[in-house]
Amino acid sequence: MPNSTTKQFKQSLGLLDATMLVSGAMIGSGIFIVSADMARMLGSTGWLLVAWVLTGVVTVAAALSYGELAGMMPKAGGQYIYIQRAFGPLTSFVYGWTVFMVIQTGTIAAVAVAFTKYSAVFFPKLNFQNAENVLFSLGPIDVYAGTFYAIACIVLLTYINTQGVNAGKLIQNIFTSTKLVALFGLILIGIGYGLQSGVLEQNFENAWDASRVSKETGEVTMISGMALIVALGVAMIGSLFSSDAWNNVTFIAAEIKNPKKNIPLSLLLGTLIVTVLYVLANIAYLCILPLKGSSTGADVMAQGIQFAEYPTDRVATAAMSVIFGSSSAGIMAVLIMISTFGCINGLILAGARLYYAMAQDGLFLKQASKLNEKSVPGKALWVQCIWASLLCLSGSYNQLLNYCTFGSLIFYMVTITGIFVLRRREPTTERPYKAVGYPFVPIFYLVVTMGICLILLSDSNTRFDTGMGLLIAAVGIPVYYITRKSGGGKKAI
């Protein structure tokens, strides 16, 4: 058997597989939940839909821009490689550091916990909110049976992915296609039922009168002008998080057939499919439930979208309960379990390739630079598994995700800025695909995202979390120099 260092990735994934990874990694549990908090921040049907449409436009614009870089550099590691080529090893290491510490592993942990919470609908012993389910405590941290269930899910999917890219692909395609069909079916049912109820027409009365409602006191404050712009930017954190992880397909470029064509195309198709489904899902919610409501409402109609099944914010479950009654909880639990399971698999499959690329540069654990007998980075997969599992155990994953959202947006901006840098520095380099609408589409993305970042820095409710996101990324700078000083890292990259 040849030495593992000589092994090569196998190009086993076609356009359909890549598109399934893009859309499957994007759709987790967010679309079924975050509209409630967005509705409380905006208090307006029109502005709620604007937030989701703008999120979709921004996401597709980013995907179109990334396509140029993906075509130029179809290598394992994707975004890490793009940043390295445009801005050097320090910036790319800080990106990889942040991805490993919180962005990828934190998302894996959080989605695994979401999978557990909905599994608890059928297995109450997994419920995190029941003190009787605490197995033991580690200082201030309570460890539940559900904690080990979430970890077991991560370990299982990691093991499957160590058995080769085709094993991970099979799981991804089955679960992604299932949830796409199921979500589309629920949209059709919701819109078909709701159009006969008259609720949509009521929701569009005074559709542009924005307001913010306090979830603690129920106090309503009308907003306009700059206050509305700030509210829109903060509300979009929910929709942007629900639409994130589309870039994961770039991490596995070395395993995609004809990557110069299929990666840009899968980015476009995947983000477009999810954008359309997300907007339609929110229209379905508005067809069934009133936008405005009260946390003390006697039923889901009185609670509205703003306080759907408060405090859980399970908008989709509340909407489906109008149609299916008491069985809606089980129906939605199954759908979200399918959705989150497929999402975890995609995140696990893709993330390890980035750490593999870092290890190849001497900037990650040496063992992560090797492929196993199945031609996948097995050690990188297990390192990722261990850290994601620890984040589950620590109970800190939700706050970590809040910290990394801002950092994630910053690195998207850095990467897209790299298009302009490389166009100027390498004008003759082959570009099998050129960013659609260049320079206007990339500039549009940068302007909108910069605006959102400034809003998050200025808003008192998000300032701390955004600061912590910057701090986590900044810690990567001394870690990089320590790594280089200790002998890690290539002399020239």
Sorted by where each begins, the domain ranges of the chain are 15-487
pLDDT at residue 290, rounded to an integer: 96
* pLDDT tens, position by position, 234-257: 899 889 989 988 999 999 999 999
pLDDT band at 466 (very low <50, low <70, confident <90, very high): confident
Own/partner contacts of 425-428, CB < 8 Å, gap of 24 or more, are: none
pLDDT at 142: 82
331, 232 contact by CB (below 8 A): no
Distance CA 282, CA 36 (A): 10
The per-residue pLDDT for 228 is: 95
Per-residue confidence band for 136, with pLDDT thresholds at 50, 70 and 90: confident
Residue 336 pLDDT more than 70? yes
pLDDT category at 491 given cuts 50, 70, 90 is: very low
Residue 6: the pLDDT is 60
Give pLDDT, residue 489.
59
Q: Where are the alpha helices (DSSP H) in 295-327?
A: 300-303, 315-324
Nearest CA-CA partner of 273 in 16, 4, 6: 16
Say how far apart CA 409 and CA 477 lie, in whole Å. 18
pLDDT band per the 50, 70, 90 thresholds, residue 426:
very high
Q: State the pTM of this model.
A: 0.91
**DSSP character string of 32-74:** GTTHHHHHHHH--HHHHHHHHHHHHHHHHHHHHHHHHHHHH--
Q: Measured between alpha carbons, how far is 98 from 480 in angstroms, rounded to an integer?
A: 12
What's the token pair of residue 198?
């008259």
pLDDT attached to residue 492: 34
Nearest to 147 by CA among 156, 164, 158, 135: 135
- Roughly how many angstroms between the first and final C-alpha of the chain, as a whole number? 31
pLDDT tens for residues 149-189?
Answer: 999 999 999 999 999 999 999 999 999 999 999 999 999 99
- What is the pLDDT averaged over residues 33-46? 95
Instruction: Label residue 4 by pLDDT band (50, 70, 90).
Output: very low
Does residue 466 or residue 96 have the better pLDDT? 96
Nearest 5 degrees, angle CA 79-CA 83-CA 89? 120
Q: Hey, what CATH class is 15-487 in? A: mainly alpha
The pLDDT, as a whole number, for residue 470 is 87
Classified as helix, coil or strand, 3 is: coil
Higher pLDDT, 135 or 54: 54
pLDDT of the residue at 395: 59
Cα–Cα distance measured from residue 171 to residue 185, given in angstroms and rounded to the nearest whole number:
21
Of the ranges 136-140, 151-155, 230-234, 326-330, which one carries the lowest mean pLDDT score?
Answer: 136-140
Which of 51, 105, 398, 395 is CA-nearest to residue 238?
A: 51
pLDDT tops 80 at residue 130: no
Instruction: Average the pLDDT over each of 27-36, 264-273, 315-324, 464-473 and give the range with the smallest value.
Output: 464-473
